[in-house]
């Protein structure tokens, strides 16, 4: 009893060969157990809501279920079909083009707005900050429906201009406009928060050295928030590749230009929930996941020196 | 020696397999007869029957049913309109629990759900007793032989709604053939300076386009629920191409608009003077009243123009039924509910259905009742519009749907929508749809003919 009391952490390890070693091991074990206990809620949720569904989706992507023959093991058939499916390719190409145009426009606007409100400290800048952020607070579905009315060629405010906002050659730009409206404010806040974290002394010394406000913004502020820029850009790339809600909501306005395979996500959704092709849908989703992963990786690799996310 | 031993062993193995199979059959026979016994056994107390439906004003119909029944009580859920409900239903049926006892199914969806073998054959529960209450084509939509998979509720025989004021203003005559229709359209275009269109062709509605094909005598599918492994696909038949070539000319000639149906712009067109006619279905009076209230009193109804002068060919656009799922605990009671909610004798329910929900009834006694046939509609300037819709309904011929209708409608709307957008030939769009559906059906394991 006394022995145990003198070595405070040895209670469960009294039967060890050497008291010192066993004590150390026990401490280590207990610390590990405590650590695991702390992360347990996260691990359980991660397994239950991410890893298990992913594993299940992967499993069903290897099967093929037909209306007549039932479920059969298909191995990579679904993947081969998806890779060779022109509708999948059309969607992937479309979201890639969309991302290439959308990302610089959105991040550029967000950066410009963030720099502007960072250098002005009037009441107007506070109002502008809130006003630019409000679209993000509007649910995507509501925002898109609202734009649907604005684009209407009979009741919308632009009805007299004679522009068909949902024709096949204009609809991608119309969708991009909605996305920018919705997300530019959010990205602006991310960049603005990073700007707020910069030490003000640097600006002062730059001003003493004769730098103009524009030079400060471009040469000092922008490079110093590059890791926030990389993060915002990464989220935007991921978002554009997974483009889904906006085209789905606008689809009824012109199903000829926004087809059911307009984006890969919409195609996968339609396969699963309109045609009960859960297996094929899972395969398309995994392929899209791979595209998003590779796209994000390439971007992170290219910006590894700036991002501090190595 | 060895060989004979081997074959003897094989034979014995085979006979064992056969014996097992036989006993398994016997077992299933036993259990199925056991099921029947429990099903026909009288449950004690009030039985609750779960119903999924999205009819307007349905709560009043449910209340009316519950107040007149003591042994059965309906528990109603609106699980979404159309595809929303079907998605939930498919999931619940696949999971084996969570599905309702009785469910609203549109006529074109019955083969889709029947194929998964989740619909109860109501023929076993006396559904054939009410067969005489329905016209031939409507009954064929829900049955094959003595097997009945749903009880028809409402339908959508097509007719032409037209703006009497616009017709008068531009001195147009009500067309009776599609040729005359086109002539009037050209006259209207010139007279109105291109402001008014004869109609709107909404390529986003598969039911609408199928209705027009139906009238022209097209049979897109040859499919019988009784033999589900075989299907004939004929989306690009000469009859279909005739219909779509005609409408391609109308749309590209600037005579018909191509705004998608059920959109704000479409409703705005019905309210203003943009559309002189609207090719509508039997449920159209309620629909147009709700969405074009501003044009009340200006609309009238005339029969659908014909391809051959003097003919009486008609088509259907929409309609629904009540089916019983295999998750119903008491299929006999569920079947009774399906037959009675909007049954031919339930005039009280139909009073709500006709006056408030604007459903077009399928049951002949209701159709021919004075209350329906002679009902005057203020929206149509007091016209008894059912005097047009009822004869149209009776003249419709049978049509088979595919067991993958959402894919079918999707192919129609996608390919035609793109043809309109890209100004390519509509008949080529039909050819594409035909090829895609054939590939899909083959992939699904059907023998495509």
The predicted complex's ipTM stands at 0.75
Q: Do B265 and A274 touch (CB under 8 A)?
A: no
Residues B185 and B149 in one domain: no
Same domain, B65 and B167: no
Show the domain range for B309: 157-314+400-448
Transcribe A41-79 into DSSP letters: HHHHHHIIIIIHHHHHHHHHHTEEEETTTEEEE-TTHHH
A271 and A303, same structural domain?
A: yes
Residue B386 to residue B81: CA distance in whole angstroms: 26
Cα dist from B97 to A94, A104, B88, B111, B327, whole Å:
40, 49, 11, 21, 7
**Whether B199 and B230 share a structural domain:** yes
Q: Do B264 and A69 touch (CB under 8 A)?
A: no
Do B300 and B349 share a structural domain? no
Q: Does B80 touch chain A (CB under 8 A)?
A: no
| Chain B residues close to A252, C-beta within 8 Å | 204, 260, 262-263
DSSP-derived letter for residue A221 is I
Cα of first residue to Cα of last residue in chain A, in angstroms, is: 52
Q: Which of A19, A34, A61 is the last residue of a domain?
A: A61
- B58 and B188, same domain (yes or no): no
One domain for residues B162 and B147? no
Beta carbons within 10 angstroms of residue A21's beta carbon: 11
Residue A18 and residue A135 share a domain:
no
In a shared domain, residues A283 and A197: yes
CA torsion, points B250, A87, A101, A190, in degrees to nearest 10?
A: 120
CA-to-CA distance for A99 and A288, rounded, in angstroms?
14
User: The domain that contains B81 carries what CATH number?
Assistant: 3.40.190.10
Is there a contact between B333 and B420 (Cβ–Cβ < 8 Å)?
no
Q: Let me know if residue A273 belongs to a domain.
A: yes
Q: Are residues B268 and B361 in the same domain?
A: no
Cross-chain Cβ contact B87/A168 below 8 Å: no
Q: Are residues B308 and B436 in the same domain?
A: yes
Would you say residue A69 lies in a domain? no
Show the DSSP H helices in B41-129 as ranges.
58-68, 83-95, 110-115
Range of the domain at A28: 2-61
Same-domain pairing of A36 and A111: no
**Residue B301 is assigned to a structural domain of this protein:** yes
Q: What is the CATH number of the domain that holds A233?
A: 1.10.3720.10
Could you tell me which residues come within 8 angstroms of residue A287 by beta carbon, excluding any fewer than 6 positions away? A79, A82, A83, A88, A264
Per-residue exposure over B147-164, b if at least 16 CB sit within 10 Å of its own CB, e if not:
bbbbbbbbbbbbbbbbbb
- What's the pLDDT band for A215 if we cut at 50, 70, 90? very high
Record: contact A252-B263, CB cut-off 8 A? yes
Predicted confidence (pLDDT) per residue in B109-162, tens digit: 999 999 988 999 999 999 999 999 999 999 999 999 999 999 999 999 999 999
Do B151 and B169 share a domain, yes or no? no
Place A121 in a pLDDT band, splitting at 50, 70 and 90: low
Task: Look at residue B40 in the predicted model and tell me its pLDDT.
Answer: 53
Q: Which residue of A has its CA nearest to B422?
A: A168
Examine the domain organization and report whether B129 and B215 are in the same domain.
no
Q: Is B264–A167 a contact, with Cβ atoms under 8 angstroms apart?
A: no
Same domain? B228 vs B327: no
B416: chain A residues, CB-CB within 8 Å: 256
Residue B36 in this model has a pLDDT that exceeds 50: no
Which sign, positive or negative, has the C-alpha torsion B326, B332, B334, B340? positive
Residues A154 and A30 in one domain: no
Do residues A100 and A187 share a domain? yes
Picking from B92, B409, B421, B448 by the largest number of A CB atoms within 10 A of its own CB, the best residue to mutate is B421
Indicate yes or no: CB of A256 within 8 angstroms of CB of B416.
Answer: yes
Task: Find the mean pLDDT for residues A142-146.
Answer: 95
Residue among B19, B397, B28, B64 nearest B217 (CA): B397
Domain count, chain A: 2
Distance (Å) from the C-alpha of residue B66 to the closest C-alpha of chain A?
34
Same domain, B422 and B310: yes
DSSP state letters, A82-134: HHH-HHHHHHHHHHHHHHHHHHHHHHHHHHHHHHHHHH--SHHHHHHHHHHHH
Indicate the residue among A61, A89, A109 that finishes a domain: A61
In a domain, B24, yes or no: no
Query: Does residue B11 lie within any of the structural domains?
Result: no
Task: Kindly state whether residues A294 and A172 are assigned to the same domain.
Answer: yes
Interatomic CA distance for residues B111 and B221, integer angstroms: 12
Put simply, whether A276 touches B (Cβ < 8 Å) is: yes
Q: Is residue A68 part of a domain?
A: no
Q: Write down the pTM of the prediction.
A: 0.83
- The number of domains in chain B is 2
Query: In the prediction, which pLDDT does B23 show?
Result: 43
User: pLDDT by residue (tens digit) across A221-274?
Assistant: 999 999 999 999 999 999 999 999 999 999 988 888 999 899 999 999 999 888
Q: How many CA atoms lie within 13 A of B119 on its CB side?
A: 26
Q: Which of B393, B374, B396, B395 is nearest to B385 (CA)?
A: B374
């Amino acid at each position: 009893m006394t022995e145990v009391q003198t070595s405070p952490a040895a209670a469960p390890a009294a039967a060890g060969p050497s008291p010192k070693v066993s004590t150390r091991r026990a401490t280590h074990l207990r610390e590990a157990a405590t650590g695991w206990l702390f992360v347990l809620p996260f691990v359980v949720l991660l397994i239950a809501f991410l890893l298990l569904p992913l594993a299940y989706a992967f499993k069903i992507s290897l099967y093929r279920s037909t209306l007549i023959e039932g479920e059969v093991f298909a191995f990579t058939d679904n993947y081969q079909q998806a890779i060779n499916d022109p509708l999948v390719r059309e969607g992937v190409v479309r979201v890639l083009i969309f991302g290439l145009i959308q990302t610089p426009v959105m991040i550029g606007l967000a950066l410009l707005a963030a720099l502007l409100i960072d250098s002005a400290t009037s009441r107007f800048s506070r109002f502008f900050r809130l006003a630019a952020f409000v679209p993000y607070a509007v649910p995507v579905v509501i925002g898109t429906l609202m734009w649907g009315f604005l684009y209407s060629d009979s009741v919308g405010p632009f009805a007299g201009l004679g522009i068909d906002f949902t024709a096949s050659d204009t609809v991608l730009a119309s969708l991009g406009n909605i996305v920018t409206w919705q997300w530019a404010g959010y990205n602006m806040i991310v960049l603005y928060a990073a700007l707020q974290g910069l030490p003000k002394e640097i600006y002062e010394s730059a001003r003493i050295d004769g730098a103009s406000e524009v030079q400060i913004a471009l040469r000092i502020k922008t490079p110093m928030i590059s890791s926030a820029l990389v993060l915002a850009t990464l989220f935007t790339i991921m978002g554009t590749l997974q483009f889904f809600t906006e085209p789905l909501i606008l689809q009824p306005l012109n199903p000829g230009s926004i087809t059911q395979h307009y984006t890969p996500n919409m195609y996968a959704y339609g396969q699963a929930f309109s045609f009960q092709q859960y297996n094929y849908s899972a395969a398309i989703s995994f392929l899209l996941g791979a595209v998003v992963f590779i796209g994000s990786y390439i971007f992170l690799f290219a910006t590894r020196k700036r991002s501090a996310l190595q | 020696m060895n060989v004979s031993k081997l074959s003897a062993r094989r034979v014995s193995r085979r006979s064992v397999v056969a014996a097992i199979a036989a006993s398994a059959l016997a077992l299933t026979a036993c259990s199925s007869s056991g099921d029947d016994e429990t099903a026909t056994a009288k449950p004690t107390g009030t039985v609750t029957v779960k119903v999924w439906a999205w009819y307007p004003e349905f709560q009043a119909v449910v209340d009316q049913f519950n107040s007149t029944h003591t042994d059965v009580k309906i528990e109603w859920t609106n699980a979404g309109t159309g595809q929303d409900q079907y998605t939930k239903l498919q999931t619940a049926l696949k999971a084996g629990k969570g599905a309702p006892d009785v469910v609203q199914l549109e006529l074109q969806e019955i083969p889709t759900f029947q194929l998964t073998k989740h619909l109860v054959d109501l023929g076993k529960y006396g559904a054939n007793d009410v067969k005489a209450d329905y016209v031939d084509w409507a009954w064929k939509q829900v049955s094959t032989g003595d097997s009945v998979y749903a009880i028809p509720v409402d339908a959508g025989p097509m007719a032409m709604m037209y703006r009497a004021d616009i017709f008068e203003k531009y001195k147009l005559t009500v067309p009776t053939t599609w040729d005359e229709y086109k002539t009037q359209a050209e006259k209207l275009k010139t007279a109105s300076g291109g402001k008014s269109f004869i109609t709107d062709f909404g390529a986003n509605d598969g039911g609408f386009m199928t209705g027009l094909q139906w009238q022209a005598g097209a049979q897109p599918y040859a499919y019988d629920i009784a033999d589900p492994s075989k299907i004939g696909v004929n989306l690009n038949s000469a009859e279909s191409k005739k219909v779509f070539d005609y409408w391609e000319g109308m749309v590209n000639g600037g005579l018909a608009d191509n705004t998608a149906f059920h959109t704000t712009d479409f409703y705005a067109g019905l309210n203003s003077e943009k559309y002189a006619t609207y090719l509508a279905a039997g449920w159209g009076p309620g629909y147009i009243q709700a969405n074009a209230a501003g044009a009340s009193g200006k609309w009238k109804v005339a029969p659908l123009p014909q391809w051959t002068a003097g003919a009486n060919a008609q088509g259907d656009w929409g309609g629904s039924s009540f089916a019983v799922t295999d998750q119903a605990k008491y299929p006999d009671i569920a079947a009774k509910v399906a037959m009675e909610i909007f049954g031919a004798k339930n005039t009280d329910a139909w009073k709500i259905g006709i006056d408030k929900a604007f459903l077009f009834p399928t049951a002949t006694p209701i159709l021919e009742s004075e209350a329906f046939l002679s009902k005057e509609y203020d929206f149509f300037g007091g016209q008894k519009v059912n005097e047009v819709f009822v004869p149209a309904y009776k003249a419709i011929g049978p049509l088979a749907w595919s067991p993958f209708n959402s894919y079918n409608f999707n192919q129609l709307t996608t390919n035609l929508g793109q043809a309109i957008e890209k100004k390519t030939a509509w008949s080529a769009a039909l050819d594409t749809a035909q090829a895609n559906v054939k590939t899909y059906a083959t992939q699904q394991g059907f023998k495509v003919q």
